[in-house]
Amino acid sequence: MFEVIFLGTSASAPSIQRGLPAQVIKHDEYRFLVDCGEGTQRQILQAGLGFKRLNRILITHGHLDHILGLAGLISTLMRWETMEGLEIYAGKRALERIHDLVYGVVLRNTRPPMPIDLIEVNEGPFFEADDFRISAFPVFHRGTDSFGYLFEEKGRRPFLPEKAEALNIPPGPWRRKLVEGEAASLPDGRVIDPETVLGEFKPGTRLVLVGDVGDTRSLLDVCRGADAIVMESTYLDEEENMARRFSHMTARHAAELARDAEARQLILTHISRRYRNRDVIKEAQSVFPAAVVARDFDIFQIKKDESPAQE
């Protein structure tokens, strides 16, 4: 399961109700901040998250509304938080801008009290834990080296306890070996093959974060069958020409991608102050009924084979 906590859902400039782009993705003990608009550190505190274990930041692209909050956040982390190190992942050009912000403004030739690693991402996997991985994929957005991020649990074959009971396999290390796909030698001398107690392979939960995007044609494959897609919806169809000019999405176009990809849910963010929520939802749901609009501090739990739950 992945949990998405929206910290900022506004497009380009903050509004009274919405901060600038930022969201936290949680999976077990791991936490990732995706984008860091101005004011993100206050949103983190207001959401009740705190800064503990928030040591990995993924940036979709280098536009200022997605990175300016790094200055204040890093300044706070250096002064008030105990952290072994900070990792910031982004494309090459975005990292160049982040480097200028961090080392030219925040640090100004001073040594940080903790390592700050600026890590360039390219297409493909770049972070792997025991049960999930994160991959980057290129996104087209107005002269940037933009990337989206795929959070994907590793698939597994579920252990079938009823079959283990029928075979009188005792609890303990024998069942654990079978769960891990290894044969188990039981105390009574029998050797049990894992095939006898494991079910059919089940793919893991897939969460796709697209960020700002002007053309979705290259995104269909990575979004196909996703349990949830998080992406921008800066414009409505009535201003499609404006969307094309600035390389952004309309709610309808985002919904068309989710529909064509046969995704299970679409969560829209990066909402312009010119629109009402209900108008954005109406346009998106006319194409893809499982579309919602995120608000600041909304929390979504993304699970396999279940409707994504909103708190």
Which positions are catalytic?
65
For 218, which DSSP code?
G
Q: Is 253 annotated as a binding residue?
A: no
Q: Is 305 annotated as a binding residue?
A: no
b/e per residue 55-76 (b: at least 16 CB within 10 A): bbbbbbbbbebbbbbbbbbbee
Question: Tokens representing 8?
Answer: 């900022």
C-alpha to C-alpha distance for 159 and 156, rounded to whole angstroms? 9
**56-58 vs 86-90, strand pairing mode:** parallel
CA 91 to chain centre: 16
Q: Is 27 annotated as a binding residue?
A: no
Count Cα atoms within 13 angstroms, Cβ side, for 286. Answer: 11
Angle at 60 between CA 84 and CA 245, to 5 degrees: 160
Q: Is 248 annotated as a binding residue?
A: no
C-alpha to C-alpha distance for 110 and 97, rounded to whole angstroms? 18
Q: Is 99 annotated as a binding residue?
A: no
C-alpha to C-alpha distance for 237 and 278, rounded to whole angstroms? 14
Which amino acids are annotated as binding site for Zn(2+), given as ranges? 61, 63, 65-66, 141, 212, 270
Which amino acids are annotated as binding site, given as ranges? 61, 63, 65-66, 141, 212, 270
